[in-house]
Amino acid sequence: MTRASSASAPLAAPDPELPADALDAADPLAALVSRFAPAGDVVSYLDGNSLGRPLTATSGRIEGFLRHDWGTRLIRSWDERWMDLPTVLGDRIGAAALGAAAGQTVVGDSTTVLLYKAIRALLAARPDRHEIVIDDDQFPTDRFVVEGIARERGATVRWVHVDPTLGVTVDLLADVVGPDTAVVLVNHVSYRSGYVADMAAITELVHAAGALVLFDLCHSVGVVPMRLDEWGVDVAVGCSYKYLNGGPGAPAFLYARRDLLPTLEQPIQGWMGAADVFAMADGYTPAPGIRRFISGTPPVVGMLPLHDMLDLVEEAGIDAIRAKSLALTDYAFALVDAWLGPLGVTVATPRAAELRGSHVTVTHPSFRAVVAALWEEGVVPDFRNPDGLRIGLSPLSTTFAEVRVGIAAIRAALLAG
Amino acid sequence: MTRASSASAPLAAPDPELPADALDAADPLAALVSRFAPAGDVVSYLDGNSLGRPLTATSGRIEGFLRHDWGTRLIRSWDERWMDLPTVLGDRIGAAALGAAAGQTVVGDSTTVLLYKAIRALLAARPDRHEIVIDDDQFPTDRFVVEGIARERGATVRWVHVDPTLGVTVDLLADVVGPDTAVVLVNHVSYRSGYVADMAAITELVHAAGALVLFDLCHSVGVVPMRLDEWGVDVAVGCSYKYLNGGPGAPAFLYARRDLLPTLEQPIQGWMGAADVFAMADGYTPAPGIRRFISGTPPVVGMLPLHDMLDLVEEAGIDAIRAKSLALTDYAFALVDAWLGPLGVTVATPRAAELRGSHVTVTHPSFRAVVAALWEEGVVPDFRNPDGLRIGLSPLSTTFAEVRVGIAAIRAALLAG
């Protein structure tokens, strides 16, 4: 294929064909794709790992909220349905995606604010220890929060240096976690490589050292099954706008282990986290349960789309979602190897099924320009500085055909470049 | 009127009639009431000071957001329209309601979280001082946040004791603000009494002592004009779901004075407040401007209704809104005096126009039960522990007729009690 011919037919697939039809036909979750709102000019959406798509059902839900819950029940809806939303939705996330029993998960605030509360609470629970362990490839907000807290609390940040095509391993942590470690913060799935950390083994290691572990689930929740209760994870925080499709800036959630919870005190004491919200009393007494991690008034509007997505996750089941995710990433690897590898594209995501989340990261020096061009033609992966292109595969909304169209377009753009 | 007749016609008005018709007919903002969504069975909504009503325009806006911005532009909308929302809306609030030039106001997080950031930042800006001054009648979340911060930072809380039917005065503050005062936190309008603090004089007093002042605007923004720039206020925080009608749990806003801003460092360092959001760089450098008060991903969905309400505030003008607010509270006082005073109801709101916000608080030992009964019949004021009933008058959505119906219903409920 010459450069000229690729420019005139940019979505034409090169050999080998690697057809998607049979894969979509065999997909037990294929019917659920139609639950999502039409994506207009987008022919391949490969960024559900950054912002999931809306469900059609959400329009009616929000219209009903405007007309009835807010519009006519007005303030009465706080008593009737809103006050418990943070824990109702938290429990649903826990059951559907976290392996968490009720009463340990709450929705509210941004991921960053919840990470701040979580780290402060965990650090305070280990007052004789002074180190926070984190790796140097974590998402920026995690690193920034940790550095800020370390400075204000006089703690030390112990950096784990990781291979950016992998992530944090038990062996790497074993070298740095020790008697002065208070908290270890680990991204369950690396935002860059898609590497899945071994949550069970890391928790065991951290606990053996007498420290506490916090997992950031942003890039795994809703797509990689986990068993927080069974594995004894202390605290976990995740966002709801990626694979949980909650909408841009939708509130995050926080899980805290039931038997640890009563000892955790977060620093942003607010009325909605108090034991008796409407007592208007002197002095703050935290709620006995997970509500103690709430500070201000819960962001009701921002939580509404989550209902619909949780319906869908419950209907599909997290194991079936994981199975489709693995099939999608397998297919993406095959297409990348056949079509992009020969053009100098490198894969930065682990190949082993148990080590990969639901996005495949590839690198090439031209990807900044390539992604900008692809966005114009309705092919939407995302770009991560300095040279990464992430192919996000959101199992409930992504078809195999879409993956094929998208990777063919990446090839065409590189050839046209 | 006997008890039996009042029970059979609970909304019938006693003498004197104090008719509302002429007042509504003379109201220059009367036509704007129709912009709000129908309130169904609610015949008198007197709780706009707690949760404002939705505008009809918001349905179309959210539908467009779901279909276009989120549904088809998807992740591209961050570049196209969402990234600047916190400052675009902040600037609009500043211009329409705060007397604040652009670049000093940002929307995001809950009021509680923003109060935490603000107090921490102001305390850090006066490192040689150790006192936070606050009054004992402030809204619980303000007191809780201050107490938490004082404990963690080793600061002292100096309590100002206020008359609960008034609020914080310059004289009261003059007795406690001194050379060790770092921060003074004042509610612009008291949530209980509706008293309006003298923002200009308090700011002058606090600055004369070398301290910094933080105003909580939750109960004044959108209804009591203010001139933050002119008065030299340091920082202010307010919510958007009361008189700004942003919806339940809509994000709050923070104002920081332009020349003070570069010295303010808030503790929750997140990627969206960094100088270069997408650099994914090592180490946090705060954005030079007001964005430094942002931590996590902005809550887009929760900000959408604010657009429509700000359109309306801009159209009406804050001075006309204040004029109607005063007319509504005047009318409420007249009805309360004529109809409720004889039943043992006490007024807990200052009478002088310059000292009152836009709610009138009345007290009676039966009000907990009265409010519960009124809610059942579509008359919706709110109750505040232990015996307060607040008559909230939201000038853009409240008619004089509605005030009359509501206060007549309170009378009927007391008589039926």
CB contact under 8 A, A74 and B45: yes
**Residue B323 shares a structural domain with residue B298:** no
In the sheet that B212-216 helps form, which strands lie side by side, from edge to edge?
B105-107, B253-256, B235-238, B212-216, B181-187, B131-135, B156-160
Residue B415 contacts residue B13 (beta carbons within 8 Å) = no
Look at residue B178 and give its three-state secondary structure.
Answer: coil
What is the ipTM, given to two decimal places? 0.94
Give chain A's mean pLDDT. Answer: 94
Distance of residue A251 Cα from the nearest chain B Cα, in angstroms: 7
Q: What is the pLDDT of residue A244?
A: 96
Residue A362: closest CA among A413, A399, A322: A413
A-chain residue closest to B383, CA distance: A278
CB-based contact B228:B98 (threshold 8 Å): yes
At B5, the pLDDT band (50, 70, 90 cuts) reads very low
- Given B314, B330, B350, which residue is the final one in a domain? B314
Q: What is the pLDDT of residues B162-207, one digit of tens each?
A: 998 888 999 999 999 999 999 999 999 999 999 999 999 999 999 9
Q: Is the pLDDT of residue A16 over 90?
A: no
- The yes-or-no verdict on residue A6 having pLDDT over 60 is no
> What CA–CA distance (Å, rounded) separates A265 from B86?
30
Chain B nearest-CA distance from A221, in A, is 17
CB-based contact A110 B109, cutoff 8 Å: yes
Cβ contacts (< 8 Å) between A286 and chain B: which residues? none
Beta-ladder partners of B268: none
- Please indicate, yes or no, whether residues B158 and B264 belong to a single structural domain of this protein: yes
- Residue by residue, DSSP assigns B341-358 as GGGT-EE-S--SGGGB-S
Mean pLDDT over B375-403 rounds to 96
Average pLDDT over residues B362-383: 96
Contact between chains at B66 and A54 (C-beta distance less than 8 A): yes
Please check whether residues A106 and A32 belong to one and the same domain: no
Contact A295 B75 (CB under 8 A): no
Residue A12 has pLDDT above 50, yes or no: no
DSSP string, B250-273: ---EEEE-TTTGGG---S---GGG
Cα distance between residue B319 and residue B297, in whole Å:
34
A 279-338 near B (Cβ less than 8 A): 279-284, 295-302, 304-305
Angle at B144 between CA B143 and CA B148, to 5 degrees: 120
Antiparallel, parallel or unpaired: β B388-392 and A382-384: unpaired
CA distance A91 to B239: 28
Cβ within 8 Å, pair B269-A241: no
Contact check, Cβ <8 Å, A112/B295: yes
Subunit contact B148:A267, Cβ cutoff 8 A: yes
B324 counts as catalytic: no
Contacts of residue B111 in chain A, CB cutoff 8 Å?
Answer: 296-297
Q: Are residues B145 and B290 in the same domain?
A: yes
Distances (CA, A) of A202 to A159, A174, A234, A388: 16, 9, 11, 27
pLDDT at B16 (0 to 100): 58
Question: Structure tokens of B391?
Answer: 């008559």
**Whole-angstrom Cα distance, residue A77 to residue A71?**
10
pLDDT value at position B9? 37
Which pLDDT belongs to residue A165? 83
Show which of residues 208-247 on chain B sit within 8 Å of chain A, judged by CB atoms.
239, 241, 247
- pLDDT above 70 covers a percentage of chain A that reads 96
pLDDT tens readout for residues A59-77: 999 999 999 999 999 999 9
- Checking A260-263 for CB contacts under 8 A at 24+ apart, the result is A260/A125, A260/A212, A260/A234, A260/A235, A261/A104, A261/A289, A261/A290, A261/A292, A262/A288, A263/A125
- Three-state DSSP class for B308? helix
The yes-or-no verdict on residue B10 having pLDDT over 70 is no
Q: Are A339 and A408 in contact (CB under 8 A)?
A: yes
Of B73, B295, B305, the CB nearest to A110: B295
pLDDT digits (tens, 9 = 90+) for A109-128: 999 999 999 999 999 999 99
Q: What are phi and psi of B209, to 5 degrees?
A: -90, 5
Hey, what are B44's tokens?
């008198």
pLDDT of B15 over the 70 cut:
no
Q: Give the N- to C-terminal CA distance of chain A in Å, as an integer.
A: 14
CB pairs under 8 A between A and B: 265
pLDDT digits (tens, 9 = 90+) for B346-372: 999 999 999 999 999 999 999 999 999
**In a shared domain, residues B273 and B325:** no
8 Å CB contact of A270 and B141: yes
A76 falls within a domain:
no
Buried b (16+ CB within 10 A) or exposed e, A391-417: bbbbbbbbbbebbbbbbbbbbbbbbee
Angle between helices B318-335 and B400-416 (to 10 degrees): 30
Q: Are residues B211 and B305 in the same domain?
A: yes
Residue A40 with chain B: CB contacts under 8 Å:
68, 71-73
DSSP string for A106-143: EE-S-HHHHHHHHHHHHHHTSTT--EEEEETTS-HHHH
Any chain B CB within 8 A of the CB of A58? yes
pLDDT of residue B281: 72
Angle between helical axes of A57-64 and B57-64 (0-180°, round to 10): 160
E-strand stretches of B166-281: 181-187, 212-216, 235-238, 253-256
**SS3 state at B189:** strand
Q: How far is A191 from chain B (nearest CA, A)?
A: 11
Q: Do A52 and A219 contact (CB within 8 A), yes or no?
A: no
Phi, psi dihedral angles at A185 (to 5 degrees): -110, 125
Average pLDDT over residues B141-150: 96
Interface test with A, best of B53, B72, B237, B241 (most A CBs within 10 A): B72
- The CATH number of whichever domain residue B207 belongs to comes to 3.40.640.10
- Is the CB of B112 less than 8 angstroms away from the CB of A270? yes
Say what the pLDDT of residue A249 is: 96
pLDDT of A270 higher than 60: yes
Q: Which of B116, B215, B241, B293 is catalytic?
A: B241
Q: Which residue is closest to B61 within chain A, CA to CA? A: A63
Chain B closest CA to A202's CA: distance in Å?
25
In a shared domain, residues B308 and B328:
no
A262: pLDDT strictly greater than 50: yes
Residue-number span of the structural domain to which B16 is assigned: 3-56+317-416
Is there a domain that residue B14 lies in? Answer: yes
Whether B40 has a pLDDT exceeding 90, the answer reads yes
DSSP B82-134: ITTHHHHHHHHHIIIII---TTSEEE-S-HHHHHHHHHHHHHHTSTT--EEEE
DSSP 8-class letter at B292: G
**What is the phi-psi region of residue B410: left when phi exceeds 0, alpha when psi lies from -120 to 50, beta otherwise?**
alpha
* pLDDT at residue B261 greater than cutoff 70: yes
Instruction: For residues B274 and B287, give the distance between their C-alpha atoms in angstroms, rounded to a whole number.
Output: 5
Q: Å from B366 to nearest chain A CA? A: 17
Position B61: which residue type? R
Question: For the residues A22-45, what does the mean pLDDT come to?
Answer: 97
Residue of B nearest to A296 (CA): B112
Nearest by CB to residue A40, choosing from B62, B71, B284, is B71
Q: Chain B window 363-392: which residues touch A at a Cβ cutoff of 8 Å?
A: 375, 380, 382, 384-385
Burial degree of B140 (CB within 10 A; 0-12, 13-18, 19+): buried
Q: What is the DSSP string of A16-61?
A: S---SHHHHHH-TTGGGGGGBPP-TT-SEE--TTTSPPPBTHHHHH
- Clarify whether B368 is annotated catalytic: no
Residue A118 tokens read as 């979580």
Query: Region A332-347: what's the mean pLDDT?
Result: 96
In tens, the pLDDT along A164-177 reads: 888 899 999 999 99
Kindly tell me if the per-residue pLDDT of B13 is higher than 60. no
Digit-coded pLDDT (tens) for B70-127:
999 999 999 999 999 999 999 999 999 999 999 999 999 999 999 999 999 999 999 9
CB A301 within 8 A of CB B301: yes
Query: Where does a domain end: B277, B298, B314?
Result: B314
- pLDDT band for A10, please (50, 70, 90 cuts): very low
Which positions of A are catalytic? 139, 216, 241-242, 390
Q: Enumerate residues 113 to 172 of chain A having a beta carbon within 8 A of any beta carbon in chain B.
A: 113, 116, 136, 139-141, 143-145, 147-149, 152
Contacts of A42 in chain B (CB under 8 A): 72, 74
Assigned domain for B62 exists? no
| Chain B residue closest in CA terms to A124 | B152
CB contact under 8 A, B78 and A51: yes
Interface of A with B in 172-201 (CB under 8 A): none
pLDDT, tens digit, 9 for 90 and up, residues A195-228: 999 999 999 999 999 999 999 999 999 999 999 9
Across A332-337, average pLDDT:
97
- Cβ neighbours of B161 in A, within 8 Å: none
Instruction: Clarify whether residues B12 and B136 are in a common domain.
Output: no
Q: Are residues A24 and A87 in the same domain?
A: no
Q: Which amino acid is at A133?
A: V
Structural domain ending residue among the three candidates B269, B291, B314: B314
- The answer to whether residue B353 sits within a structural domain is yes
Which residue in A has a C-alpha nearest to residue B81's C-alpha?
A: A248
* B71 within domain boundaries: no
Q: How many domains does chain A have?
A: 2
Between CA B232 and CA B255 the distance in angstroms is 12
CATH number at residue A366: 3.90.1150.10
Q: Is residue B224 included in any domain, yes or no?
A: yes
Number of H helices, E strands in chain A: 14, 13
For residue A14, whether the previous peptide bond is cis, meaning omega lies within 30 degrees of 0, is no
Residue B213 near residue B234 (C-beta atoms within 8 A): yes
Test mutation, B112, B218, B367, chain A, max A CBs within 10 A: B112
Best mutation target, B141, B243, B282, B291, to test chain A (most A CBs within 10 A): B141
Q: Verify that A412 and A295 share a domain, yes or no.
A: no
CA distance A100 to B52: 36
Question: A278 and A169 share a domain?
Answer: yes
B139 flagged as catalytic? yes
Tell me, yes or no, whether A291 lies in a domain.
Answer: yes
pLDDT at A7 over 60: no
In a domain, B70, yes or no: no
Is residue B134 pLDDT above 60, yes or no? yes
Pick the catalytic residue from B135, B216, B234, B382: B216
Is A4 exposed, middle or buried, given 0-12, 13-18 or 19+ CB atoms closer than 10 A? exposed
For Cα atoms B364, B367, B373, give the angle at the middle one, nearest 5 degrees. Answer: 150
CB contact under 8 A, A301 and B250: yes
- Any chain A CB within 8 A of the CB of B270? yes
Query: Which chain A positions have a beta carbon within 8 Å of B375's beta carbon?
Result: 76
Contacts of B72 in chain A (CB under 8 A): 38-42
The residue with greater pLDDT, B280 or A308, is A308
* Domain match, B398 and B291 both: no
B381 contacts B390 by C-beta, under 8 angstroms? yes
d(CA B383, CA A164): 56
